[in-house]
């Protein structure tokens, strides 16, 4: 069954109606300042479409992982302020989710304006494993829309969660698929069902355990896997290299060794770095040097060395593989890109994606944040995902409850 789209809702008419939109506004904060507004900017087009058509737009979203109770550190108030700076549509924020302030503001909301509700995870029913509790919260959220309300699911980054504002709400209101969710599904389908070859997957990030299932799935589809980031040291240890004090998951070494053998059996080229930027400590000011992988413990820092980035030889190799590909999916930085001395591998991968003529997808919050913080023009990439873990679960072949709910 096909989901109803935002366009079909707009065609039905939304002027004067309250429409509840589940958006992904889970952005990083420094105090009360948004440090990366990418998800806000990605969410605004759907909200603006509705507002410009005369809807009274209620927005539900989460931020961080509060413990099911209000916590000022995870308030969406800074997000509302940044949203107001980025759009011409009037924006206000409620001080609660379904309480007195949210109800009063929703009732008084003018046509063509936006009300951001407080963090849905301040209510323990949002993430409850008890169906009755989740349905109760969903009913209260739906109640904010009054007569003739509607729901738009536009938070792909949350569709892998069986949460009240993602799944249960669809039984309470006529439900529609937002443009971000539609676009993400189209891109993921292209990556899994019909990638133009050669198809290269670049995986980084800190933990190999976060990527085990997606590695297992993608090496049956991709022509080449490029591995970097903190996860690479588990791969290098599996190949017998000393890695000093670099991040490693010892309990995954045997699993990774099996992956290396399976990739070879499948004919998927699994390419690891040949050189690494090793440092004396985790610091932008730390002494650092480039060493070949067979000598990671023989430099000045010995077995106390920390690997914090792929080396320049590897960065150049990875970039060439990317440029020569017709489809590229990238998830996870190649090093500690937040620290300038260890950002060069990630920058080389990002630059390669902008230089290839192939279709490119930047997946995951850290990769998207790296693209922005390193100064790349987002228009140089085919698609920058807002899906995070949900996109990885799709690539692993898992069902996504939030998608199923919109199509049932």
The residue annotated as part of the active site, out of 149, 345, 365, 387, is: 365
Measured CA to CA in angstroms, residue 63 lies from 79, 82, 160, 199, 317 at distances of: 9, 14, 16, 34, 38
Radius of gyration of the chain (CA): 23
Residue ranges of alpha helices (H) inside 303-387 are 312-323, 344-355, 365-373
Alpha-carbon span 39 to 145, nearest angstrom = 24
6 is in an annotated binding site: no
26 is in an annotated binding site: yes
Question: Taking a C-beta distance cutoff of 8 angstroms, is the pair 23, 59 a contact?
Answer: yes
Residues in the chain: 408
Question: Taking a C-beta distance cutoff of 8 angstroms, is the pair 206, 233 a contact?
Answer: no
121 is in an annotated binding site: yes
The residue annotated as part of the active site, out of 54, 68, 139, 389, is: 389
Alpha-carbon span 248 to 236, nearest angstrom = 9
307 is in an annotated binding site: yes
Examine the residue annotation and report whether 351 is marked as an active-site residue of this protein: no
Give the SS3 label for residue 126: coil
DSSP 169: G
Strand pairing category for 33-34 and 29-30? antiparallel
Question: Taking a C-beta distance cutoff of 8 angstroms, is the pair 228, 204 a contact?
Answer: yes
Alpha-carbon span 112 to 15, nearest angstrom = 8
| 3-state percent helix, strand, coil for the chain, nearest multiple of 5 | 45, 15, 40
The residue annotated as part of the active site, out of 41, 207, 269, 372, is: 207
Alpha-carbon span 335 to 301, nearest angstrom = 19
399 is in an annotated binding site: no
364 is in an annotated binding site: yes
Examine the residue annotation and report whether 388 is marked as an active-site residue of this protein: no
62 is in an annotated binding site: yes
Alpha-carbon span 222 to 231, nearest angstrom = 19
The partner residues of 310 in beta bridges, in order of sequence, read 276
Alpha-carbon span 226 to 211, nearest angstrom = 13
Alpha-carbon span 7 to 180, nearest angstrom = 13
119 is in an annotated binding site: no
Question: Taking a C-beta distance cutoff of 8 angstroms, is the pair 325, 358 a contact?
Answer: yes
366 is in an annotated binding site: yes
Examine the residue annotation and report whether 207 is marked as an active-site residue of this protein: yes
Instruction: Report, as residue numbers or ranges, the catalytic residues.
Output: 39, 207, 365, 389
Annotated binding site for ATP: 211, 307, 338, 364-367
Annotated binding site for substrate: 24-26, 39, 62-65, 121, 161
């Amino acid at each position: 069954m096909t989901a109803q789209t935002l366009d079909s809702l707009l065609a039905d008419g939304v002027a004067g109606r309250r429409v509840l939109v589940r958006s992904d506004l889970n952005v990083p904060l420094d105090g009360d300042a948004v440090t990366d507004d990418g998800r806000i900017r990605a969410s605004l087009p759907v909200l603006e479409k509705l507002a410009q058509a005369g809807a009274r737009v209620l927005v539900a979203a989460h931020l961080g992982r509060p413990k099911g109770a209000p916590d000022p550190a995870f308030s969406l108030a800074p997000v509302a302020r940044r949203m107001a700076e980025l759009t011409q549509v009037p924006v206000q924020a409620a001080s609660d989710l379904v309480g007195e302030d949210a109800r009063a503001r929703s009732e008084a909301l003018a046509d063509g304006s936006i009300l951001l509700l407080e963090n849905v995870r301040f209510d323990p029913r949002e993430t409850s494993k008890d169906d009755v509790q989740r349905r109760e919260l969903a009913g209260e959220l739906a109640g904010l829309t009054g007569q003739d309300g509607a729901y738009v699911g536009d938070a792909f980054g949350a569709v892998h969660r069986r949460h009240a504002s993602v799944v249960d709400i669809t039984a309470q209101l006529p439900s529609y698929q937002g443009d971000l969710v539609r676009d993400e599904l189209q891109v993921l389908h292209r990556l899994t069902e019909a990638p133009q070859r050669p198809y290269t997957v670049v995986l980084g990030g800190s933990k190999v355990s976060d990527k085990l299932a997606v590695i297992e799935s993608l090496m049956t589809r991709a022509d080449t896997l490029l591995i970097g980031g903190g996860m690479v040291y588990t791969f290098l240890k599996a190949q017998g290299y000393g890695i000093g004090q670099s991040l490693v998951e010892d309990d995954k070494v045997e699993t990774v060794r099996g992956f290396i053998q399976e990739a070879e059996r499948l004919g998927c080229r699994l390419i690891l770095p040949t050189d690494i930027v090793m440092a004396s400590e985790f610091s932008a000011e730390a002494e650092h040097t480039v060493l070949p992988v067979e000598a990671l413990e023989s430099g000045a820092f010995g077995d106390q060395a920390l690997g914090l980035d792929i080396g320049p030889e590897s960065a150049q190799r990875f970039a060439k593989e990317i440029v020569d590909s017709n489809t590229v999916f990238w998830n996870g930085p190649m090093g500690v890109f937040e620290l300038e001395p260890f950002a060069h591998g990630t920058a080389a991968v990002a630059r390669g994606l902008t230089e290839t003529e192939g279709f490119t997808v930047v997946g995951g919050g850290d990769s998207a944040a790296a693209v922005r913080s390193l100064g790349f023009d987002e228009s140089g990439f085919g698609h920058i995902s807002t899906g995070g873990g949900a996109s990885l679960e799709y690539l692993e072949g898992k069902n996504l409850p939030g998608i199923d709910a919109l199509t049932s």
